[in-house]
Structure 1
Amino acid sequence: MCGIFCVLSRSPAHLERDRAVDEHLRRRGPDWSRDLTVTGRDPHYQCLFSAHVLHMRGLLTPQPLQDNAGNVLLWNGEVFEGLPVTPEENDTAVVSQALLSCSGPSDVLSVLSRVRGPWGFVYYQKAGDYLWFGRDFFGRRSLLWKFDGGVLTLTSVAAHDSGWREVPAVGVYRVDLKAPAEGGAVTFEVYPWAYAGKKVVSPRSETVLECVPGGCTAVMNPSGLVLTSPVCPLNMSVPKSLHDTEPQPDTHSSVKDLELLLASKEKSDEVSGLIEVLSEAVRRRVQTLDSPSNDHASVAVLFSGGLDSMILAALADRHIPAHQPIDLLNVAFKLQEPKKQKDSAKNPQKQKNKPTDSKAPIFSPFDVPDRLTGRAGVKELQDLNPERRWNFVEINVTQEELREMRQRRIGHLVHPLETVLDDSIGCAVWFAARGTGFITEEEGHRPFSSSAKVVLTGIGADEQLAGYSRHRVRFQTSGYEGLIQELAMELGRISTRNLGRDDRVIGDHGKEARFPYLDESVVSHLSSLAVWDKADLSLPRGVGEKLLLRLTARQLGLRQSAVLPKRAMQFGSRIAKMEDTREKASDKCSRLLTA
């Protein structure tokens, strides 16, 4: 992974970087930094390329990477499949070599269509004077753009400033540097994603016209060329007998409910199919790493003890050598002390005359819901593999530290997103990924800071398996057809709602976010299934939503975590309780606007 930056100017003006932007980029890539400038003579243009590399595997490959033909590549990505990359090779060099053999645009699109894994890139193709850039199908790597004063800027991360927008993950873009530019304006040719064998382009590509920076123009490429989607279309079928079963009472969900369902051979086969592709997705993300020392983890999991993170931890346990620890990063925001305890502190005499209750729980300001389920989850994992050292990292955040770090760092990273939800999740993920807290050992608490470069996150599970409460509401009002439409929308907008932001936030610590639930093979597998094979929202909470994943958890040996109802991170970590509770998630967040 790295922080990439490119400035394009059609005039001989001196190209400069914002110092704050450069600091954010350097934190993303602490292992190597370099600049490179390319100048065109007729017509005149200048491109400044800058990269800050986080070395993950193979030989350290400096960026910007310039080949023998003068092409320049900025690559912020991972090749997990599609192009052959040996353990000794670096994927940046492999992608550069593949692009070197390209002549026309169809060749470039063919290379990018084959890559399986997250990427954001900028590529200067000297033959023909073209500048290519874009993000992968899901937008798992951040890329922002801005056009100001005749200068186009592309960057992994910016600073809080007007004009920045996320590059839509609808395809890739090409700028013809030879084309005349009136007033320095820039025109992008769009090469959109399309499903294999179909000329129908995803409706997402239409949104690019709404997102181009002012002073720029986006047009579909006149040749009609497309990128081949790395995933199959969503199965839109509904049951022939629309057995809209009456919702069952919201009774307490038990492990036995799942075991009864698993007794069916059909369900058991479905679970085995998901375990096979998801386990392979996790393997690719935890084994393509330089071997760390036995005392330090190379992989961490954003860990609440809930269903999604428990499955990731259990599958990572299969593929990471038993002598290496796994860090489980659990974040909690300080709770306000209950009013009764505050009153008793003010009136000690009154409290003295009250009978004492030795069983009354002692208030702990960081015992938020995710902390409690996290502790329970660690015990389940220890039962699965007692030989593994599971570092349960308790990350405690006070309101004072939250305000300070939002002002200094997080507000800039979340930008250009600006809602209350972006603030809550962005802050929670930033503190969790930092990994600074303590672990509990026999001797007591010990300060701890995770050194893992890879952070696994469960994003994508809810969006594909109907995990949100709004999915249950849609099912109740519109049946399977409505639910399918909701799931299609979820996956189509995941780049704009989550992935760019989370990549910027996690990358700020010199760590790389990896998303096993969004592995192309996993998404294709889930997309091929009928919706009722993935979820049954006529069943109670804790069973019906993400039913297939719950059955998977039970098959892996997990118990109580398999039937935990969904709890959003902002509520489980209690960051939402720290701020104005009257806010709506979609409101513009004043705390971000002043960062």
Structure 2
Amino acid sequence: MCGICCVVTLCSQHAIYDFCNEDILCHLRRRGPDSSQQFIKTASDLSYECLFSGHVLHLRGPMTPQPLEDANNNIFLWNGEIFNGVHVGDLENDTQVLFHHLTLCSTEADILSLFSSLRGPWSFIYYQASSHSLWFGRDYFGRRSLLWQFNNENSAFCLTSVTVYSESSNQWQEVPASGIFKINLKACATTRSLSLTLFPWKDGCIEKATEATLFNVLDQISKDLPNHVPLVMNESKLSLRAPVIPLNKTISEASGECPGTDTSNNTHRVSAETLQGFLAEEQKKKLVHQFIDVLNEAVKRRVLSLFRDEDQKTRGVPSTSDRKAHIAVLFSGGIDSMVIAALADKHVPVGEPIDLLNVAFMIKEQAKQKSTTRKHANQEVQLDLLCPQESCKDLDAKTGARLSCFDVPDRITGRAGLKELEAINPSRTWNFVEINVTLEELKKMRQQYINHLIYPLDTVLDDSIGCAIWFASRGEGFISNQGELKPYKSPAKVVLTGIGADEQLAGYSRHRVCFKKYGLGGLNKELEMELDRISSRNLGRDDRIIGDHGKEARFPYLDEDVVSFLNSLPISEKADLTLPRGIGEKLILRLAAKELGLTASTILPKRAVQFGSRIAKLESTSEKASDTCRRLKTFSVD
């Protein structure tokens, strides 16, 4: 994982370093703490200059400083992981492998074919010297951040993994994950103006993307570009092949589409045994095991594609206190993170701990009193049964002792989830990292780091989720050592996250609302839209947030094989929103969890991180999630 940056200027009157200031470089170095270097490329007979800046987090194969340059003056910056599609040996570095393949590409079609074959998250910048072309883009889901900024006054163009919040007129935007872009620098230098060419993604089942579809993509991107930057479709109408199959929108009569009969408020008490009835059906059980197999492979790729010391690779070595964790999971104890942790346990070497990162924001006294008197809805799991409150005593904060003011819902379900995982594999060292955040620290870190990482997004929801993930992925908290909590900082460079499960398996409350209004047809459209917009709503932001700690986010539920498998199923096989909360949403995942040996967590209702961690209640309760968040503005006064 890396921080990559490129600045192009068509005007030699301005120093190119003016467009990549020290603050941006500081954020890039935080992403790639193991190597940093940059250099300027000047076209000898043309009036353009390019600054390339690479900052590497070393994870696989030999250490490979970036930018890479070959004998033909081609230059490559890569922020990604190749999990499949192009062979990368155990002792090879994927940056070197991909650069070698790129330099063998002689046509545009060759380059598109190469990137179409890749499986895994990526963003890249590639300077092709022979054609004076700059190529760049993000993967199909946008799992790696890439931002752009256009400066008309100085004829400059910037690309970077992360930037700093700016109130200037030249706003940064996320590069759309709509395809790969190309700039002909020779032509742009001649006209002293920038022009972008797009090579869009297209569905694999469509032989030729329709003109209407292509121009719709163009219009969507163009409306957010400055007027002086035209975007055109490539002349040959070439496209990238989407790495996943299209969504199956089949609705069978047997699926019982009954808008208006949604039973999310059903008073029937849900129990883990409820799932057993579904698994008694042979076809359903077979489907669940196919899902487990494909998700298991996705997790395996993500926990093993990682440099480990030789002694860490040895299987069968007993757990010892001096072993360090290489894998961490953003962990709430909910179904998404529980399944990831259970599958990671199958592949992480037995002597190696797994860090479970659990974040909690301090509960206000008033909120604590309310929560103790609130009654649970009948269909929801009784959280106090999962984790008896008497185990959470008020002790001194400076010693790291457990405090009830941090007993937020995700902390309680997290502790319960830990017990389930310990039951599945008691020989594994599970480091349950209790990450406690006060209002004072939240404000300080938001102003120092987090607001820059969330930018250019700016809503209350972005703030809540971004802050929660930043503190969680930092991994600084306390772990239990022989019954006593001691300070701990997770050394894991890879952070597994459950994003993508709700979007594909109807996990959000808005999916129930949609189903109730529009039935399965409407729900299908909603789920299709979820993946279409996940790059702009979630993934660029989350990559910037987690990468800020010199760690890499990996997303098993967004593995291309997992998405294709789920896309192949009709909605009725994935979720049944006529069933109560805690069962109906993400039904196939709950059944998979049951088969993996999980218990109480299999029927926990969805709880978003901003509510489970209680960050949403910490500063303001009167805001809407879609409101612009004033706290993200650098010079705001709280």
Structural mapping, 1:53-68, within 5 Å? 53-68=56-71
Alignment of 1:90-169 (within 5 A): 90-148=93-151, 149-161=154-166, 162=168, 163-169=171-177
The worse-fitting range, judged by mean Cα deviation, of 210-219 and 229-238 is 210-219
Alpha-carbon offset, residue 182 of structure 1: 7.3
The answer to whether residue 228 in structure 2 is matched with residue 215 in structure 1 is yes
The corresponding residue for 1:473 is: 513
Paired residue secondary structure (1:211)? coil
Query: What is the distance in 1 between the residues matched to 2:39 and 2:616?
Result: 44
Q: Distance in 1 between matches of 2:515 and 2:217?
A: 24
Cα deviations by residue, 1:280-317 (Å, 9 ceiling, x for unpaired): 00000000111155611000000000000000000000
Which residue of structure 1 aligns with residue 375 of structure 2?
Answer: none
* Backbone CA RMSD of aligned residues: 1.8
Partner of 1:174: 182
Flag structure 2 segments of 5+ consecutive residues without an equivalent. Answer: 313-321, 371-388, 395-403
Return the offset for 1:541.
0.4
What aligned pairs does 1:351-390 form with structure 2 within 5 A after superposition? 364-390=404-430
**Aligned residue identity for 2:8:** L
Aligned positions of 1:152-551 closer than 5 A: 152-161=157-166, 162=168, 163-180=171-188, 184-198=192-206, 199-200=208-209, 201=213, 206-240=219-253, 243-245=256-258, 246-248=261-263, 249-292=266-309, 295-338=323-366, 364-551=404-591
3-state SS of the aligned residue for 2:180? strand
Q: Which amino acid is the alignment partner of residue 225 of structure 1?
A: L
Which AA in structure 2 matches 1:262?
L
Aligned residue type for 1:191 = F
| Count of residue correspondences | 580
Deviation at 1:213, TM superposition (A): 4.2
- Unaligned runs of 5+ residues in structure 1 are 343-357
Give the CA deviation at 1:185: 2.0
Find the counterpart in structure 1 of residue 82 from structure 2: 79
8 Å CA contact 1:168, 1:211 repeated in 2: no
Q: For residue 406 of structure 1, what is the amino acid of its counterpart? A: R
Task: Determine the structure 1 residue equivalent to 2:7.
Answer: 7
- Bigger shift: residues 423-432 or 293-302: 293-302
Q: Which amino acid aligns with 1:566?
A: K
What amino acid sits opposite 1:466 in the alignment?
A
Q: Could you tell me how far apart the structure 1 residues matched to 2:534 and 2:509 are?
A: 17
SS at match of 2:523: helix
Give the secondary-structure state (helix, strand or coil) at the position aligned to 2:502: helix
Determine the C-alpha separation between the residues in 1 that align with 2:92 and 2:392.
Answer: 55
Equivalent position of 1:346 in the other structure = none
Residue by residue, what CA displacement relative to the aligned partner does 1:84-139 show, whole Å, maximum 9, x if unpaired? 00011000001100001011111110111111000000000011110000000000
2:205–2:246 Cα contact (<8 Å) kept = no
SS in 2 for 1:439: strand
Name the CA distance, whole Å, in 2 between partners of 1:341 and 1:461.
33
Same amino acid, percent of matched pairs: 55
Matched, 1:581 2:621: yes
TM-score, structure 1 normalization: 0.95
1:179 aligns to what SS in structure 2? helix
Letter matched to residue 160 of structure 2: T
Relative to 1, partners in 2 of residues 1:550 and 1:180: Cα closer, same or farther, differing over 3 Å? closer
Q: Which moved more, 1:331-340 or 1:360-369?
A: 360-369
User: 2 CA distance for matches of 1:24 and 1:306?
Assistant: 32
Q: Is the 8 A contact 1:366 1:396 kept in 2?
A: yes
Take 2:369 and 2:566, find their aligned partners in 1: how far apart are those partners?
A: 49
Structure 1 residues 265, 242: CA separation in 2 closer, same or farther (over 3 Å shift)?
closer
Letter in 1 for 2:628: K
| Contact 2:250–2:570, Cα closer than 8 Å, also in 1 | yes
Name the SS for the 1:37 alignment partner. strand
Query: How many angstroms apart in 2 are the aligned matches of 1:441 and 1:558?
Result: 25
- DSSP 3-state at the match of 1:36: strand
Q: 1:26 to 1:360 in 2, by over 3 A?
A: closer
Q: 1:197 to 1:544 in 2, by over 3 A?
A: closer
